[in-house]
Every structure is written in structure tokens, then in C-alpha cells.
Structure 1
Amino acid sequence: MEDNKLVEDNELSENNKLGLFSLIALVIGSMIGGGAFSLPGDMAKGASAGAIIIGWLITGIGMIALAFVYQNLSMKRPDLNGGIYSYAKAGFGDYMGFNSAWGYWLSALIGNVSYLVMMFGAVGYFFPVFGKGNNLASVVCASIMLWLIQGLILKGVKQAAIVNVITTIAKLVPIFLFVIIAIIMFKVNIFTLDFWGGSTPSLGGVVAQVKSTMLVTLWVFIGIEGAVVVSGRAKRRSDVGKATVIGLVGTLVIYILITLLSLGIMNRARLSGLDTPSMAYVLESVVGKWGAIVINLGLVISLLGATLGWTLLAAEIPYIAAKDGMFPKVFAKENKNGSAVNSLWITNILVEISLILTLFSSSTYQILYSIASGAILIPYFLSALFGLKFELMSKEENGRTKNIIIASVATIYTAWLVYAAGLKYVLLETILFAIGIVAFTIASKENNSNKKKNYIFLSYEKVIALIFLVAGIVAVVMLATGKLSIS
């Protein structure tokens, strides 16, 4: 009987594994949320066409380098199934691994609140009762959507991934329609008008414009690590790296086309003044009202898919970390379908609380979101840095120099992203990491009870924790006294 049960469990586990197409859809679905539909206006606000091209070139090089780092690590370190969390832990110790998982988790769950608010704000285009997505009707419907998604994931990651594939395809249809029509309607004379922004002094020089452009691209690629995070659920390890690179390159091409083609339909000044989602109004200007309707429908579907994808990722990281002894044990429980049941419940309860906060205090929610959104950049930097460290210490000569160069580019780029997010946000994020000290202490005590250790932090980790604690307290005091703001 025991042997039969073991076979059944193995078959169930195999049935819940994700193939290449599902992994690609998870990467694309996680990256393409609401930001893609606002790119034309967001980019045009701070840069001309020439600067935007340079910005995309730099971003493309940096993100492709990061994707190759993930691909390389997924092949050479198949034992690290937690992706960005595992890389930080393997490279820089338990506490930094925990902080990587902690920051990523809170970023993901609060980001989901943003997706839900944006989703019903988009629905408000068709049904004004939902307003901008943060009134009572929106919160009630968003809550229903949240728990329906939870129910789907609890039935198994494979089932949720299938739905994610469907929503990813559905969101790409209006985007491809936009691209095709934009190619047909593209006007070179509009695109080349004030190409470097010289006649618009308020934009500043080319360098300032490029920085403005890259501050927009900073956020639209979050989700590149989607396949890496769920690598433990992949049918084939090699698919993880392939999905990351294919998903990244495909998304990059889509973003570049959306941005540059829009500049050939409307001049920069008009684009910068469009409401969100600006893509809808660009298409409406050439085909009429139905263009805006199609894009807004695409936005709703896109945000639904992004919410599903990020709910999967948000639950997966603490689940993997708990199984590894880095998060409290409560997060490690699975249900009979192999879903991270407790991690999912805890994550979505916190999402629900944050969602309700939008009813009473949009500023409180904005503070939470601003703190968490920047924290996700830390795991990216630690992943790239580990990739560089791994190659420098590797004795394998084949391709080593190339991999070191790629990892160096990814490390420099991700370090710049942390800097570009702003020192103010780095200070705010120390609040998040200071709170994490409690969770790390609980997890360490649970884990150390089996290993007979008499310490929680290593010497250098005590210094890091103290810095987080002091800086976090300072940040809270500065917020309370108005000396630090998120505006």
C-alpha cells in the first residue's frame, strides 16, 4: 500500500510540473501588466525619440545580461530551486538570503494590490461605478477576484499556469493589433520631429532624458525572474533558462515597438498629455472609439493575468524559503495538490488588508507600495552579484570569460537600478528589512533547534541587522515628522 501511495504521489507531483510554454507565459505574464499599456505617455513625458532609443538600448543590454545570468545559474546550480532567494543565500549567507526572499515577497504581495486597483480602474472605463479602482465597489469586487484566484491556485499550480497561459495570449492580442495598425499609420516626419528634444528645454539634455526613460523601464521588467522562482516545479531544468531569455527578449521587442511606433503617430508633446492608459488613446486617434475599447479590454485581461502570475510568485518564495529553514515553518505546508497552502493564505490575507487600506487612506497604501516596490531590486542585484562571484570562483574554463563579462554587465546594471530608484527609497526600505529581523529570528530558532546552534546571526550579519534596525527607526521618525516623504 505504501509503495502504491508513493507512486501516486510521484505521479501527482509530475502532473503539476510546468513545461516550457507555461514557463514562458509566466515570465511574459508577470512582466506585462498595466505598465505596457501606459508606456507611450510615460516615456514621452521625460524624453524625445532619440533619448528613448538610447534608453531602450541600455536597458536591453542590462536586462538581457541578467536573463543570461539566470539561464547560466539555472543550468550550473540546479540545486538552487528558489531562484533569486537561493542565489542570495548561496552567495552571501542565510541572512542576506532571507532578506532577498523577504523583500521580494512583500514587494510581490503589495504589487498585487496595485494590480487589483488598476484592474478595476480600467473596468471603470466601461462601468463608472468603479471609479478609479479604490472605492467600495472596486474593493469588494477586487476581493472576490483575489479569493477566486486563490481557489484556482489551491487546485494546483499546473491548473493556475494553464489559465495564466490563456490570459497571456489574450493580453497579447490587443497589443499585436496596436503594433500592426501603428506600423501602417507610422509617419517618419512625426517620429523625427525634435528627435533629440532640443526645442523643448524643459526636457534637459540627452543624458537627463535617457535617465528619465530608464526610470520608466526600471519597473516594466519586474517579473523577469518568474521562471527562476518556480524552477523547482519545472519539468526540465533546461526550460527555466530558455523561458527566461525567450520571455525577456519577446517582451523587450514588444515594449520597444509600442514606444517607438507611438512616436510616429503622435508627437511627443501630445503623447505626454494623454490619460492612462495612453496606448488606448493613441489607437483611438487613428481608428476611432473602438480602438480605446479594445485596449482597455486588453488592459483588464493583462492585469488579471499579472495578478494571477504574481500571486503564484508571491506565495512560492516564502514557501521555498520556509522549506529551506529561512522562513517560519508555517509557510512550508502544502495541500494535496502540491500548492503552498499556508503561504498562499498568509500572502492573500495581507493583500486583502492592504486593499482595504486603499478605502481609508490612499497615502498609507502609497507609502507601503513605495517601500516595497523598490525592495525587489535588491534580489536582482544580489542574483547578478552571485552570478559574477560564481564564475570568478569557477574552475571551468569553457565560456568562463564570456560569463564573467555578462555577469559584470548585469551586476553594474542592477546596481544602477538600485541607485536610480533613489536613496530616499533605500532608506524607506530599511523599515521593511528591520521588521524582517523578527521573522528571521523566529525561523532561525525553529531551524537551530534541530542543528543545536547557539547563535542566530553571524558576526557580520549582526552589523547588517543593526544598520537595518537603526536606519528603519530613523526612517519611521522622519516619516512621522514629515522630514521624509514619498512625493
Structure 2
Amino acid sequence: MAHDSTTTATSTATKVSVLTLTAMVVGSMVGAGVFSLPRRFAQETGVAGALIAWTVAGAGMLTLALVFQRLAIRKPELDAGVYAYAKAGFGDFTGFFSAAGYWASACVGNVTYWVLIMSTLGAWIPALGAGDTVLAIGLSSVGLWLFFLLVRRGIKEATAINRIVTVAKLVPIVVFIVLALFVFDPAVFAENFRGADYAGSLFDQVRGTMLVTVFVFLGVEGASVYSRYARRREDVGRATILGFACVLAIFASVTIVSYGVMPMDEIARLRQPSMAGVLGAAVGSWGSTFVAVGLIVSVLGAYLAWTLMAAEVLFVAAKDRDMPRFLAKQTTRDVPVNALLLSTVLSQVVLVVTYFSEDAFDFALDLTAVTSLIPYLLAAAYAVRLRLSRETYGDASASTLRGDLAVAVLATAYTAFMLLAAGLDLLLLSFIVYAPATVLFVMTRREQGRRTFTPTELVLFVAVLAVAVVGVVGIVAGWVTL
């Protein structure tokens, strides 16, 4: 995601090759979600459905990555983050709505890290369960606030940590794929090909996997951030496509090879991180331990990066006068302390809510994905609007005009389909997160002495509030489940 900090010192930035740029893209996109893929897919579909799902997700997310890459080039002044595109295209309140959603997705995503850590440790400490017991939530809360205190003190040395994290997450993934191929059983794979009795139609099976593919590809917009490091402008597009292809190959490989190790109904019952369970079945208990250790190091490092990112979303928006002034406050060590505090509070609230969910990890994962989709949809729609108005296109060739329109329309259609695939429950829950955040918008307008809502904004706010109320009623009545 492009923040103000990424635009400084552009002229002095070290220029790197396409391969190095590609590696940076891969490192930014491969996160903790990959460790959960075998179970999430096996719960929904077999090999055939998984292949279709990754084809659809790969094509859809690539169009989205290309949209962000094109927007970064055509609108370089919009560097305050994903929400800047929504604001430029559809007004202040929509821009705020996008910023709130992107911030919420980062905070909820941080909860998945703690649930996954506790679930991993739960293999050795039964009292931690699947990361959803009182003890697990208590320890996760302690970790949440310890990281708040660490970051508040100014611990932002990301370079050394990121190197360790990149190795920690890539080595177990590569080892997993190689070892799973060694024990690959064609008979088991064939049995898993069409799916299981508990799966519905092939379309329903594929739809059931869509949110996890959105989750693991979160950060796809970050590829465009690295454009300032490129030797040539065309290198950015190449690195985006190469990096994305590598990441897609990793995710699809982890999913598909698992079907050749165990029957899918057994994979579906594994605890998260299910990659550890599959490797344990393949090579013995050391395999589970190997993946678990790599995951914990990876997740803690990723958590530090996403904690800073969540705070940065609010901080940059406040500096741009799109959020209240108090969120722009920094300590003497340049830490956005109030933005960091508010982000930690939201993560804590969601962490407590996971206790009441049917599956803490899946709930947090799905909610992260669905809250990120509205900002993505608005950015893609802005790309369509930009192309139709021909702003910034000047004397662009017919092929450029056709190509950009096709990419923007496909990205918009894909993100809209993802929102529909998420289902009514998750959409209602996401609006319960969005609606209270509007308080920050009201505070911002009052600080600036501006009218709280324009007539159009008031209609949008009433609609958001109405959907959130329906969601709350649904939870109380029992027809919306966590």
C-alpha cells in the first residue's frame, strides 16, 4: 500500500533489477494465510474445484494488481493509500469509508495471527485449543498489548526482522511442497479429485474457497509501492506479473499437493495451521514441529509489520485531514501513538468476539477478507472512471485504451463477485464494523467547521447504518452467525 513514507527520497532510492523487484513483490505478499490453505480448501472442495478456484482467483487478483500498478503511474499524486482513489473518484465520505475498511481489515487480520499462533501452540498445550479458549484469548491479549508497548517505544527496525521473517516463512513452505511431492500418492489424489459427499455443486465449492484466496493475496496493492526502485518504468509491470505468478504458484502448489497426501475429509478435520498437520502425516511429528516453528517466527514478524501498517493508515489519513487531528499525533520517536492505540483497541475487541464464533480463525480470516474488498472494489471502479473520462490518457494509443479498460472492468467485476460470494452474514458483520467508524468522519468535519454530511453523504450514511442495524438484529435473533 502506498503511504507518504514510500514517496520520500524517490530520486535517491537504490535502483534494482527486475528479479530483485520480483523478490520484493513475493516477500510482501506471502504471509501467514498460506499455512492454513490445506484445511480451508479441503473443507469446501476437491482437486477439480481447487484448480478452478486458483485460476479464477489468480486471474482476478492479477487484474487488481495491474489496476494498482496503472493507478500508481497515472495518478502518482494520490499517494495517501488505497482510500485516496475512492476519495478522488467518489467523494470524501466514500474515501473515508474506504480508509475505514482498509484499516479495519488490517486490524482484524492481526487477530488471525494471534489465533494461528495459539492454535499452533495448542498442539502441545491443549488448554489453548484452536486459539479460541479463554486462556488463548487472554494470552493473545497480553501479546497484543506487549507489541503495542514495543512499537510505542519506537521499535521500527524492520529490515533485519523482515530478512529473518522472509526466510522463516519461505523455507518451510518450499520444504513442505518438496516433501509432499515425495510421498505423493496418486490413488489418494484421484480419490480427492471430484470432491467429497459434504460438498455441494462445483460452483458452490469454488465459491466457498474464494474468501481465503482474497485473504492470502492481501497486499496485492503493495506491488505498485516498489515502482520507485525500478530502473525502468516497464520493469514494474514485469515484476508485478512475475511476482504474482510466483506467489500464485506457491499458494496453488501448497493446496494441490496436500490432496495427494491425505484423504480430503481428514485434511478438513486438521487443526490450523493445517500445513503442519499434512506434513506431519507425510513425514512424522518432526514435520509438524518444523512448520510450526517457521510459522510462529513468520507470524510474529508479519504482525509487527501489519501493526505498523494499520496505524499508518489512520495516521496518513489524519495528516491528509481525512481523519481527526488526534490520530496525527506522534511521539518524539515518530510513532503515531493514538493511531496505534485505536488500532490495538479494535484488534482487542475482535479478539474477544472470536470467542463467540464457531471457528475463531476462519471467522477472523473471512472478516479480514470481506472488509478489504470494498476498498479494492472502489479503487477498481475509479480505474474504470478514469479510463472512461480519459483523464491522464492524452494521446494514448487505442491498444492502451482498450487494455486499461479491460483490466479495470475485469477487476471491478471480480471484486464485486467476491463480495457476493462472501455471503450475507459476512457483509452484515462488516457493516457493523464500518458504521461506528463514521464517528471519526463526523469528528473530522466538525474540526474543520464543515457541514457534517452533504445530502448524498447523508443518504450513504443512513444506508450504512441501516445495514449495520440489520446485522445486529440478525445476531440477536440468531440468523446471523459468527
**Range of TM-score over shorter length:** 0.7 to 0.9
In the alignment, which residue of structure 2 is the partner of 1:5? Answer: none
Is this contact kept in 2: 1:80–1:87, CA < 8 A? Answer: yes
In the alignment, which residue of structure 2 is the partner of 1:316? Answer: 312
TM-score calculated relative to the size of structure 2: 0.84
Q: Superposition pairs for residues 158-237 of structure 1, below 5 Å?
A: 159-193=157-191, 195-197=193-195, 200-226=196-222, 231=225
Residue type of the alignment partner of 1:193? E
In the alignment, which residue of structure 2 is the partner of 1:485? Answer: 480
In the alignment, which residue of structure 2 is the partner of 1:426? Answer: 427
CA RMSD of aligned residues (A): 3.5
Q: 2:297 aligns with which of 294, 301, 319?
A: 301
Change in 2 beyond 3 A, CA 1:434/1:322 = same
Q: Secondary structure at the match of 1:318?
A: helix
Q: Per-residue deviation at 1:391?
A: 1.9
Q: Per-residue deviation at 1:130?
A: 4.1
For 1:236 and 1:323, the matched residues in 2 are separated by: 28
1:410 and 2:411 matched: yes
Q: Per-residue deviation at 1:256?
A: 0.5
Is this contact kept in 2: 1:367–1:486, CA < 8 A? Answer: no
Report how many aligned residue pairs link the two structures. Answer: 464
For 2:13 and 2:153, the matched residues in 1 are separated by: 13
Residue type of the alignment partner of 1:374? V
In the alignment, which residue of structure 1 is the partner of 2:386? Answer: 390
Give a deviation string over 1:268-300, Cα, whole Å, max 9, x none: 343333333222222122211111111111221
Residue type of the alignment partner of 1:381? L
Give a deviation string over 1:236-269, Cα, whole Å, max 9, x none: 7969877765553332111111011112222334
Q: 1:57 aligns with which of 55, 58, 75?
A: 55
For 1:136 and 1:290, the matched residues in 2 are separated by: 29
In the alignment, which residue of structure 1 is the partner of 2:110? Answer: 112
Q: Superposition pairs for residues 235-254 of structure 1, below 5 Å?
A: 245=241, 247-254=243-250
Q: Which moved more, 1:36-45 or 1:140-149?
A: 140-149
Is this contact kept in 2: 1:333–1:342, CA < 8 A? Answer: yes
Q: Superposition pairs for residues 267-346 of structure 1, below 5 Å?
A: 267-346=263-342
For 2:359 and 2:43, the matched residues in 1 are separated by: 27
Structure 1 gap segments, 5+ residues each: 1-9
In the alignment, which residue of structure 2 is the partner of 1:442? Answer: 443
- Report percent identity of matched pairs: 36
In the alignment, which residue of structure 2 is the partner of 1:32? Answer: 31
Q: Which moved more, 1:258-267 or 1:145-154?
A: 145-154
Change in 2 beyond 3 A, CA 1:358/1:38 = closer
Is this contact kept in 2: 1:186–1:261, CA < 8 A? Answer: yes
In the alignment, which residue of structure 2 is the partner of 1:87? Answer: 85
Residue type of the alignment partner of 1:423? L
For 2:358 and 2:187, the matched residues in 1 are separated by: 43
Give a deviation string over 1:199-250, Cα, whole Å, max 9, x none: x44423332322233343233222323456xx49976796987776555333
For 2:284 and 2:362, the matched residues in 1 are separated by: 38
Q: Per-residue deviation at 1:89?
A: 0.7
Change in 2 beyond 3 A, CA 1:272/1:352 = closer
Q: Secondary structure at the match of 1:78?
A: coil
Q: 1:261 aligns with which of 250, 257, 260?
A: 257
Q: Which moved more, 1:152-161 or 1:460-469?
A: 152-161
Is this contact kept in 2: 1:107–1:373, CA < 8 A? Answer: yes
Q: 1:125 aligns with which of 112, 123, 126?
A: 123
Change in 2 beyond 3 A, CA 1:420/1:327 = same
In the alignment, which residue of structure 2 is the partner of 1:6? Answer: none
For 1:107 and 1:298, the matched residues in 2 are separated by: 24
Is this contact kept in 2: 1:22–1:161, CA < 8 A? Answer: no
Q: Which moved more, 1:206-215 or 1:75-84?
A: 206-215
Give a deviation string over 1:20-65, Cα, whole Å, max 9, x none: 77996587456521x3222122212221212211111111000111
TM-score calculated relative to the size of structure 1: 0.83
For 2:227 and 2:146, the matched residues in 1 are separated by: 22
For 2:368 and 2:180, the matched residues in 1 are separated by: 36
Q: Per-residue deviation at 1:335?
A: 3.8
Is this contact kept in 1: 2:116–2:272, CA < 8 A? Answer: no
For 1:129 and 1:17, the matched residues in 2 are separated by: 49
Is this contact kept in 2: 1:30–1:306, CA < 8 A? Answer: no
Residue type of the alignment partner of 2:380? A
In the alignment, which residue of structure 1 is the partner of 2:64? Answer: 66
Q: Which moved more, 1:89-98 or 1:188-197?
A: 188-197
Residue type of the alignment partner of 2:439? V
For 2:243 and 2:181, the matched residues in 1 are separated by: 23
In the alignment, which residue of structure 1 is the partner of 2:472? Answer: 476
Q: Per-residue deviation at 1:177?
A: 0.5
Is this contact kept in 1: 2:212–2:369, CA < 8 A? Answer: no
Q: Secondary structure at the match of 1:203?
A: coil
Change in 2 beyond 3 A, CA 1:61/1:363 = closer
For 1:102 and 1:258, the matched residues in 2 are separated by: 33
Q: Per-residue deviation at 1:125?
A: 2.6
